Chains A and B, each alone.
Chain A
Amino acid sequence: MWDHEIRAMASTHAVIAASVFMATVVPAVFVQGFSVYGTHLLWLYSVSGTVTAVSVAVFWLLGITPPTKKHTLGYKLSRLFRSCLYFFLSCLFFHTVVVLYGAPLIESALETFSLAVLLTSLTTLRCLCVLGPNVQAWIRVFSRHGAMSVWDTCLQITVTCTVVGAWVGAFPLPLDWDRPWQVWPVSCSLGAMIGFLTGLVAAPAWIHYHRKQLTYKCK
């Protein structure tokens, strides 16, 4: 029923997952002593940057982004500007939420913010790509009858997986095992990353198995 979209989705996700893998492996060639734990922030930036770039490119190429009504340059620029603004605001939002969850306020603000950037590039960026800079639509998507296309359902699944992954990632923090991945924010960002990858796999699979039941309202 949605075979074409599902295939496109699966390949997109494969590309994104591959880019995550590359972003983890390639810097090791250029940077001395690069490792996910040791130079965690660097890894975070590399992954965030790669995911951002690849997602934007892929979704732009696929043309999922809702069609703009106006085609003037000024309108496009303002959309671009608003997207950047939302990206930044979402970073701040995630930072606030993480701090409210109990992250240190001042001490490791940079680490916390980097985690927020990662979360943003894994979740908000996708919203931006699929739905455009439209918060109303974002809120609408996360309701039972809110998804209007296969891509919206996919968005629901990946975003939920990422956020739940980050949430679960906080659980090892209080344990006294003294492992390198228990350092703030390593476990959370790893959790988010694992959740994201799970979402990438789970979304096409879930949609494939439920393709008979899926009905969407027309846009």
Chain B
Amino acid sequence: MKGLLVLSLLFCMCAMYFVGIYLFVGGFLLVRLEVNRTSTCGDVLQPGEEPVDFCRVQPRFRRAVLLIIDALKIDFARFDPSNTSPRPYENKLPVLEETASSRPSHSRLYPFRADPPTTTMQRIKGFTTGSLPTFVDVGNNFASSAILEDNLIHQFGQVGKRVVFMGDDTWESLFPKKFHRSLPFPSFNVKDLHTVDNGILQHLYTTSDDWDVLVAHFLGVDHCGHRFGPDHPAMADKLTQMDGVIRSVIDRLQNDTLLVVMGDHGMTDTGDHGGESQKETDAAIFLYSPAPLFPGPPSQSEPDVVPQTDLVPTLALLLGVPIPYSSVGQVLLPLFPPLGQTKGAVGELSQLEALWINAKQVNRFLETYSGMAKDIPPESLSQLKDEFAHLSSEYLTTVRDGRPPSPELAVSLQAYLSSVRDTCRATWARFNPFKMAAGLAILAICLLNVENSPGLKAPVVVALTAGLCVAAGQLLTQGYIEVAWCLAAAALSSELLLLWTACRSRTTAVAKNGFKAAKCTSWLTLRRLLIPSLMVLLIRCACLLSDSYVIAEGRVVTFLMFSLALYIPIHLNWDGLLLPPSHDPLKSAGLLPSPALSPSTVRKESSTLLTCLGLLIGSLYLSLSFHGCREEQGSCQPSPFLSPLSRLQDSQLKNLHYILSVSSLGLWTYLLKRCLRHYGNLNSSGGTVFTARWILPLLAVCLGLHWAVSATPEDSFRNLAELISLAQLALPRAAFCLLGLGLFLIWLDPLTVFVKTRAAASARGSSLPPPRYRASTGISPQAELHHLIPQIYQRMRRSLDDGELSGSSDVDSRPAVEAYGLGTVYSAPLLLFCGLLGIGLLLLHPEGMALSFLLLLLEMGALMHIHASSTTLSGGFNVPWTPIVLWSLAATQFFHATGHLPTFPSIQWGAAFVGFPEGHTGTVLPASLVTLNTFASHILFAVGCPLLLFWPLVCEVRGSRGGRACGEEGEDAVMEMRLRENPQHFSAALLQLSTRYLFIHGAQVFASVCAAAILRRHLMVWKVFAPKLMFEASGFLVSSVSLLIGVTLVLRVDVAVGRWFKRIIPDASR
């Protein structure tokens, strides 16, 4: 069966893309689950002692000052007196070295190693939670960036310490309402070196004494690096300023205060950071206190490098708060006295005690985490558990017996902590370059294979074999199977097979035609690829590699669409097809081929084309006013239609918005029905027609009522409150049900053909029989005649029975048939499907988006008509690249024009609560609702993609009007039955259309994958490129699934039409 083959080929193609995306994302996006538990004071109990409340005890330090100097690389902090000609970033912080050497028991400087990703936000998360934040920390709260995991700031608040913050406003969004006082300064403008620092300096020394922990985050050094690079005089000035700051802070410190000066990450030689090279990860940390901090002078056991996670447990224990729950750090041992040297102070923990508290906390976290997620390899997990059990029994016996512990115990505790951290780091904080490369390769070969028409069997067999081989190999060598690599092997082998087949067929062709022809063909393929539509696609893909263009994506896509749309008439005019050929002497001389279309047809088609172009451009321009705003776009105002009606205060404005939305909803419904009626699809009594007649308007009414109800202010109809809340629950749910019912009915009975049997011997005659059933009211009989297609059947039967049928007796014995709507039998259900789906998706959007959805429908129509007209003018059956590129760019354009943006904060979470105002219990339903909301335009355009194939045929009837004068209408008014006539051609065209659509989306995914891979170190990678990659990849996923649905629907209609024909003509077994 041909249809199944098309579907399975498409499915395989999608699967290849999916495997590529999966592999790359698996290597690139580091995912970790957040553990939302917090430590309490009771956790830090010592065994065998009185249960002392840890938090009540006087800690070693009452107060702390954290000076965070963004991007303070260790090279900046070191001082080398022998260096006589320092670079601008060298020897500019002499205070650190001076203090450390003059007061060795009070201060020390260490390299401070951050974990990748070395971006500020992740780093702040890292050194407050003690964990290893990844790009995606899967937690309960996607919408805000606030840290929900247990962290130092939270613990300070728990024990009543007042935290005062000043500096980078990232902190404010990470810890909303956690600070006693805060003075955030905008961090976004990288060019601005001084605002944040000067703001801090204004308040740092004058701040009143109402704090216990003071956090000041300076951004100047980092911004200076981004702007000028480290090797620039501005960096020297900045570092000298920081030197002064540290000096004056040291001068003002009191005895019970700890000072920590640190950088959150380093920078490369060009001033960038984000990656994992040592220059980016190695920052500096400087600890100082007026009271003796270190029990001994610097010894051999000093750590070479302090991992960033170690700050959290150290600070927590020094300041007397519990270690945050998810910390995997290890206490900095030099800060704690060895056992037996504690000077009797209650709060002073010995090294072993600190280690024990630390190990217990880490073990508890590990147990919780391994219960939640399975990404830590089980064998290393069980090994760690055994080790802890062993150590804890040893420690407990030591404490119970009261004998001095062996020094080995401390060492092995340290080893345990280090191995836990290493395990976690291997799981969470390392890119997997092999996976990334494999994903890139698979995607690239996928794209190369676009125009090769593959077989199915061989690749599948090869893929299965390769996958199984790799699985078996892994099982033998490693003992377990890593699914990703099996998939990779399968995909790569089958793709390479395809590529090889294609190459071989090409070379055999070359061998036949000789070398010269080969050169010629390769040149021709190149020429064919350089057509403007593909150039536009190329530009679009190149745009994904620049952060500015990704930020301005909505406008860029609109610009490109506008250019490509303008190109269509210009190109037609260039080919001389737009204007009816003027009477030129050459034609009469027979030098030019005479055109196939009469001048009036050409004029009519051109005017349709230009009108639709106007409509397209109009909706493109209007759609710009529905865009949302990214935070990077400074002076941008989000569209007023994006806020839900209930938030509008002005009641007049509210009414206006409501009326606008409802009327566009009405227009949407009307246009759909109008279109269906126009082509005579509303006459029969099947499921689809029932849907169009009743369910579609009912759905629209439901939606309008729902908007009205949800927009009513809560206090104005107090006595109707119950009714309103009931309606808020019932109306959207009713709409969902109607939508499901409608879609199901369309699926069940997609035929919209109304058959009228007539005992008409005259049907074979030349004259048209007068119709007795009107196609619909409101259409002139003349228009109706066009869509009443009795001739089709006649013609088909004639062609079928040509052999056996010669006389007329046989004809008379059979009924002649009039079939309304046969010409649009494929497109009508698809159109209705899209329309219903559109209303359903609109339900998930804010009310104002109805206008945008109307524009979407208009633009779809305009695109289809432009395509139809240009096809009529230039001929051809397959869908060329230009309309498909336009179609898929329109999907991206309306992604933006429905108020979406490729950033996580801009996801419209409200969609999850439509019809479920109380919230959900599971996660599947809200996630799918939000996905439907986010990718609404992708879904609509992908489902409607096959329409591009049908529409030129649907519009054929208009084109035939010109030919009608010549008496050829019977030949022309075949419309979509052409597809029926050559099913091979039909499925090939359908496959080509879908492949090209997938290719365009796949190319965009590939471009954003490349962007993420190449720009791993870019300043904007976690803010722009990685979210863009996620959105592009999920958009591709949704698009391909929707495309499969659309194609399946078309094939379903095809099956139904086949059955229908069989019923009408039992002996016609086509």
What's the least CB distance linking A177 to chain B, in Å?
8
Give the Cβ gap from B405 to chain A, nearest Cβ, in Å. Answer: 59
Kindly state whether residue B414 has any CB partner on chain A within 8 Å. no
Interface residues of A in 104-151 (CB under 8 A from B): 139-140, 142-146
Q: How many residues of B contact A (CB 8 A)?
A: 28
**B958 nearest CB across to chain A (Å):** 24
Report the bound CA distance from A217 to B585 in whole Å.
9
Q: Is the CB of B579 within 8 A of A102?
A: no
- Is B877 in the interface zone, CB < 8 Å from A? no
A174-B551, A175-B546, A175-B548 known; A102+B573 contact, CB < 8 A: no
Contact: A178 with B191, CB < 8 Å? yes
Bound complex: CA of A139 vs CA of B606, how far in Å? Answer: 13
Say whether A29 faces chain B, with CB atoms less than 8 Å apart: no
- Stretch in contact with the other chain, from B205-213, B554-562, B725-733, B901-909: B554-562
**A residues less than 8 Å from B549 (CB atoms):** 174-175
B917 within 8 A of A: no
A and B contact pairs by CB, cutoff 8 A, 21 listed: A100-B620, A100-B621, A102-B555, A102-B558, A102-B562, A102-B624, A142-B570, A143-B575, A143-B578, A144-B575, A144-B576, A170-B559, A174-B549, A174-B551, A174-B552, A174-B555, A175-B548, A175-B549, A176-B547, A178-B191, A217-B585
Interchain CB contact under 8 A, A144 and B621 = no
Cβ of B526 within 8 Å of any chain A Cβ, yes or no, is: no
For B552, the closest partner residue in chain A by CB is A174
The reply to whether the CB of A30 lies closer than 8 angstroms to some CB of chain B is no
The CA of A175 and the CA of B551, in the complex, are separated in Å by 10
Which chain B residues lie closer than 8 Å to A139 at the CB level?
573, 578-579
B residues 617-648 touching A (CB-CB < 8 Å): 617, 620-621, 624
Residues from chain B with a CB closer than 8 A to the CB of A146 are 576
Q: Measured between alpha carbons, how far is A100 from B616 in the docked complex, in Å?
A: 11
Question: Which chain A positions have C-beta within 8 A of B556?
Answer: 174
The residues of A that contact B712 with a CB separation of less than 8 Å are: none
B559 and A217 within 8 A (CB): no
* Interface flag for A167 (CB, 8 Å): yes
Q: When A102-B624, A146-B576, A178-B191 are in contact, do A167 and B552 touch as well, CB less than 8 Å?
A: no
Provide the main secondary structure of the chain B interface.
helix
A interface list, Cβ under 8 A from B = 100-102, 139-140, 142-146, 167, 170, 174-176, 178, 217
A217–B575 Cα distance when bound, in Å, is 16
Chain A nearest CB: distance from B621 CB in Å?
A: 5
Q: How far is the CB of B622 from chain A (nearest CB, A)?
A: 10
Complex Cα–Cα for A80 and B548 (A): 47
A interface, over-half SS: loop
What is the chain B residue whose CB lies nearest that of A170?
A: B559
Q: Which residues of A contact B559 (CB under 8 A)?
A: 101-102, 170
- Using an 8 Å CB-CB cutoff, how does the interface string of B81-97 with A read, 1 for contact, 0 for none? 00000000000000000
Do residues B548 and A140 form an inter-chain contact, with CB atoms below 8 A?
no
Interface residues of B (CB under 8 A from A): 191, 546-549, 551-552, 555-556, 558-559, 562-563, 570, 573-576, 578-579, 582, 584-586, 617, 620-621, 624
Q: How far is the CB of B616 from chain A (nearest CB, A)?
A: 11
Q: If A100-B617, A102-B555, A174-B548 touch, does A140 touch B579 (CB 8 Å cutoff)?
A: yes
Report B641 CB to chain A, min CB distance, Å: 18
CA of A167 to CA of B560, assembled, Å: 10
Is A100's CB under 8 angstroms from B562's CB? yes
**How far is it, in angstroms, between the C-alpha of A148 and the C-alpha of B621 when the chains are bound?**
37
Residues of A within 8 A of B582 (CB): 140
For the complex, what is the distance from the CA of A170 to the CA of B556, rounded to whole Å? 10
Task: Using known A-B contacts A102-B555, A102-B558, A167-B563, determine if residue A142 contacts B574 with beta carbons closer than 8 Å.
Answer: yes
Chain A min CB distance to B1061 (Å)? 44
Q: When chains A and B are docked, how far (Å) is the Cα of A217 from the Cα of B583?
A: 13
Which residues from chain B contact A167 at a C-beta distance below 8 Å?
A: 563
Q: How far is the CA of A170 from the CA of B586 in the complex (A)?
A: 42
Residue of B nearest to A167 (CB): B563
User: Are B586 and A144 interface neighbours, CB within 8 A?
Assistant: no
A residues less than 8 Å from B548 (CB atoms): 174-176
A187 to B191, CA, bound (A): 22
In the assembled complex, the CB of A112 is this many whole angstroms from the nearest CB of chain B, namely: 14
Residues of B with C-beta under 8 A to A178:
191
CA distance A88 to B624 in the complex (A): 28
Residues of chain B within 8 A of A102, CB atoms compared: 555, 558-559, 562, 624
- Other contacts beyond A143-B573, A217-B585: 12, CB < 8 A: A100-B617, A100-B620, A100-B621, A101-B563, A102-B558, A102-B559, A143-B576, A144-B576, A146-B576, A174-B556, A175-B548, A217-B586
> Measured between alpha carbons, how far is A132 from B562 in the docked complex, in Å?
29
Bound Cα distance A100, B613 (Å): 13
Closest chain B residue, CB of each to CB of A174: B552
A178 to B191, CA, bound (A): 10
**Nearest CB on B from A172, distance (A):** 9
CA separation between A178 and B563, bound complex, in Å? 26
Q: Which 8 A-B pairs have the closest CB atoms?
A: A174-B552, A143-B576, A175-B548, A174-B548, A176-B548, A100-B621, A143-B574, A102-B555
Give Cα A54 to B1066, complex, Å. 79
Which A-chain residue is minimally distant from B620 (CB atoms)? Answer: A100
With the chains together, A142 CA to B620 CA distance in Å? 26
Q: How far is the CB of B906 from chain A (nearest CB, A)?
A: 19
Distance to closest chain A CB from B441 (angstroms): 30
User: Please, which residue of chain A has its CB at the minimum distance from the CB of B547?
Assistant: A176
Decide: B573 and A101 in contact? CB cutoff 8 A: no
User: What is the CB-to-nearest-CB distance from B490 to chain A, in angstroms, rounded to a whole number?
Assistant: 41
Residue of A nearest to B576 (CB): A143
Residue pair B617, A145 in contact (C-beta under 8 Å): no
What distance in Å separates the Cβ of B553 from its nearest Cβ neighbour in chain A?
A: 9
The interface residues of chain A lying within 8 Å CB-to-CB of B573 are 139, 142-143
Which residue of chain B lies nearest to A105 when distances are taken between CB atoms in the complex? B621
A143 to B582, CA, bound (A): 13
Q: Report how far A66 CA is from B563 CA in the complex, Å.
A: 32
Instruction: Give Cα A217 to B592, complex, Å.
Output: 12
Q: Which residues of chain A are within 8 angstroms of B562 by Cβ–Cβ distance?
A: 100-102
Complex Cα gap A167–B576 (Å): 24
The closest CB in chain A to the CB of B617 belongs to A100
- Give A101 to B573 CA distance when docked, in angstroms: 21
CA A174 to CA B543, docked complex, whole Å: 10
B540, chain A: closest CB distance, angstroms: 12
How many Å lie between the Cα of A176 and that of B574 in the bound state? 37
Of chain A, the residue at the smallest CB distance from B553 is A174
B558, B563, B574, B584: the one within 8 Å of A144 (CB): B574
A143 to B546, CA, bound (A): 36
* A68 CB to nearest chain B CB (Å): 21
On chain A, the residues within 8 Å of B584 by CB distance are: 217
Residues of A within 8 A of B585 (CB): 217
The CA of A116 and the CA of B621, in the complex, are separated in Å by 19
Question: Which residues of chain B come closer than 8 Å to A144, judged between CB atoms?
Answer: 574-576
What residues on B are CB-neighbors of A176 within 8 Å? 547-548
Nearest CB of chain B from residue A47's CB, rounded to whole Å: 25
Residues of B close to A140: CB separation below 8 A: 579, 582
Complex: chain B residue closest to A218, CB-CB: B585
Smallest beta-carbon distance A108→chain B, Å = 14
Residues of B within 8 A of A101 (CB): 559, 562-563
Bound CA–CA A176/B549 (angstroms) = 9
A215 to B562, CA, bound (A): 34
CA A188 – CA B582 in complex, angstroms?
Answer: 37
CA distance A175 to B562 in the complex (A): 20
Q: Which residues of A contact B558 (CB under 8 A)?
A: 102
List A contacts of B191 (CB < 8 A).
178
Point out the residues of chain A lying under 8 angstroms from B620, CB to CB.
100
Q: Which residues of B contact A142 (CB under 8 A)?
A: 570, 573-574
